[in-house]
């Protein structure tokens, strides 16, 4: 897997051969086929491994916001945005994103595999919004739309400004994006006293 990651990240999907990965790993080509079936399945395994490692690294030291009635929703949203941005800008995720985008026309399912963990996160976030509507903190008609809007204002804004993660953002710039995105989102959805 480590050899495959290095070769895919260096050469991209199309330019990578199983022979090159086997040589990098010091194993036979047949060993790779026996374990993974083909190059595409190996790449999908690399996507899963990188996402799991990157998500764990981004979340390390950051507790997930709780859905408590007395929670400071603004603090929770800022924390959530920081964790999501950190995960989106992990160098291996940036490299994977570049490869998946390049392959989108030939193999759209790679993008779906890359986005799958985000789908699971989106569902949890939507449920969190629904809970905050239930306890009277938010006024949201379409929680799924509100979740996408939040991610657009924070994570997607960082991705755009960083040129999909190819340019490093200063911590102050990320913090400004988080602050602006959270404030705008709350202006639209926070229940006013």
In angstroms, how far apart are the furthest CA atoms of the chain? 67
pTM tops 0.95: no
Kindly report the average pLDDT of the chain as a whole number: 88
What pLDDT digit, counting tens, does each position of 14-26 carry?
A: 999 999 999 999 9
Contact (Cβ atoms closer than 8 angstroms) between residue 115 and residue 51: no
Q: Cα-Cα-Cα-Cα dihedral of 94, 95, 99, 101, to 10°?
A: 10
- In whole angstroms, what is the distance from residue 185 CA to residue 19 CA? 50
43-73 tens-digit pLDDT: 999 998 888 887 776 666 444 444 444 458 9
Would you state the pLDDT for residue 67?
42
Superfamily of chain region 2-189 = Tetracycline Repressor, domain 2 (1.10.357.10)
Give domain limits for the chain. Answer: 2-189
How does pLDDT run across 134-189, given as a tens digit for each residue? 999 999 999 999 999 999 999 999 999 999 888 999 999 999 999 999 999 999 99
Ordered alpha helix ranges (H), the chain: 2-11, 18-25, 29-36, 39-59, 73-88, 91-103, 108-134, 143-151, 157-161, 171-189
| pLDDT per residue as tens digits for the range 100-111 | 998 888 888 888
Tokens of 146: 């509100």
């Amino acid at each position: 897997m480590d050899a495959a990651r290095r070769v895919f990240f260096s050469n991209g999907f199309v330019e990578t051969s199983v022979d090159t990965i086997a040589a990098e790993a010091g194993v036979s080509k047949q060993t790779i086929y026996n374990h993974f079936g083909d190059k595409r399945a190996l790449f999908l395994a690399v996507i899963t491994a990188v996402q799991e490692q990157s998500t764990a690294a981004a979340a390390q030291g950051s507790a997930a916001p709780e859905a408590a009635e007395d929670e400071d929703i603004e603090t929770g949203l800022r924390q959530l945005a920081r964790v999501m941005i950190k995960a989106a800008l992990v160098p291996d995720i940036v490299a994977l994103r570049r490869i998946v985008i390049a392959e989108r026309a030939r193999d759209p399912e790679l993008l779906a595999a890359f986005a799958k963990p985000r789908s699971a996160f989106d569902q949890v976030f939507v449920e969190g919004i629904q809970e905050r509507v239930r306890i009277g903190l938010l006024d949201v008609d379409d929680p799924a739309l509100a979740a996408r809007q939040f991610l657009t204002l924070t994570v997607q804004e960082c991705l755009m400004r960083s040129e999909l993660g190819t340019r490093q953002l200063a911590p102050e710039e990320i913090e400004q994006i988080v602050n602006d995105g959270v404030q705008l989102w709350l202006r639209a959805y926070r229940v006013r006293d």
